[in-house]
Amino acid sequence: MRAVILTSPGEPEVVELPDPHPADGQLRIRMAGAAVNPADLHVIDSGHTGVGLGLDVAGVVDEVGPGVTEFAVGDRVAALQFPHAPHAVAGAAAEYALVPAKDTAAVPDGVDLLDAATVPCNSLTAAQLLAHLGPAAGRRLLVTGAAGGVGGYVVALAAQDGWSVVALARASDTEFLTRAGAREIVTDLAQASEVDAVFDTALLNEAALAPVRANGSYVGIFPGREPAPERGIDVTSAVVFPDAAALTRMLALTEKGVLEARRAGTTPLAEAPAVYPKFRAGGLRGRLVLTP
C-alpha cells in the first residue's frame, strides 16, 4: 500500500509498504478520505523519522480480524487512528488503516465519506475538553479561533449544551458562527466581556485569561503550552483519545446538520507532501482531505 511516512526529519514522502492485515479485534479500512490536521505539523516538526502521518480516517471496511462482530466487510466507517499505537502500521494517510473495532464508528448514510473524514479529531477534541468545564447552566464561554477546525465544533457543541457562546473570529466568519449557535461574535479579544470560561483553540494562552472571571476555567488543546493559572482560574489541557460512542454521536449530529463538516479541498495521496505546507500557511476554512 502507499502511505505518507517521514522518511527523514521534516520530510513527508509517499512510500510503498506491505498491505497490513488485522489482528484480533481490528478492522482494516480502505481509506476514502484522511484529513490533514495540526497534529500532522507537530509530528513533521518533531524530528522523528519512520513515522506515519494522519489521525482521521473514513472509508469502507474491507477486512475484519478475529473476534470482530460489530462490523462487516462493506460497512462505511470512520475512526481516530493513532500512528504511534501498537497496532498501527502507518497513519491514516495511507491506502489502508488498521483500527481497533472498539474505536470505530459507523458513518450514517446521509454523510459523505470525505466529509466524515473531517469529523473525528476535531469533534472529539471539542467534546472531550468541553466536558472538563462541567454543566453549562447558561454560563458564558469564550471560544478563540472559533471558526477553525476545532473551534467550529466547540461553538456548535457548546451552544447545544446550553452555553452562551462568545466567538472570537474574523468578521467574514459571522454567518458560519451564527449558524453554529454563537450568541456574540467579536473580532478582537478586548471586545470580550467577562466570561466564565475560555476554550483557547487559537493558542492565545496568557492573553486568553484576561476576559475570564476569577475562579473561572481555561481549556487548551496542546498540553505543555497552556498558561500558568492566575486569579484562581482552573487551567487544563488534554490530548484527544478515541471514543467510538462519542464519535457515533458526532456523526449523527453531522447528518442532522447540527455540526457542519467543512472540507477545504481534496488532494490525491500521491501528492500529499505538497499539502502540508499549504495547510501550514493557514487561512483555510475546513480541512484538507487526502484521497486514495
- Please report, rounded to a whole number, the percentage of residues in the chain having pLDDT higher than 70: 98
Residue 84 is predicted with a pLDDT of 55
| Residue 254 predicted with pLDDT over 70 | yes
pLDDT confidence band for 63 (50 / 70 / 90)? very high
Q: 150-209, pLDDT tens digit by residue?
A: 999 999 999 999 999 999 999 999 999 999 999 999 999 999 989 999 999 999 999 999
Mean pLDDT over residues 32-47, rounded?
91
Region of residue 272 (left: phi > 0; alpha: psi -120 to 50; beta: else): alpha
Mean pLDDT over residues 260-283, rounded?
90
Q: 112-164, pLDDT tens digit by residue?
A: 999 999 999 999 999 999 999 999 988 999 999 999 989 999 999 999 999 99
Kindly report the pTM of this predicted structure.
Answer: 0.93
| Residue 283 predicted with pLDDT over 80 | no
CATH 3.20.20.70 matches 133-237 = no
Tally of CB atoms within 10 A around 7 = 13
What is the average pLDDT score of the chain?
93
Q: List the chain domain ranges.
A: 2-121+242-291, 133-237
Architecture of the 2-121+242-291 domain: Alpha-Beta Complex (3.90)
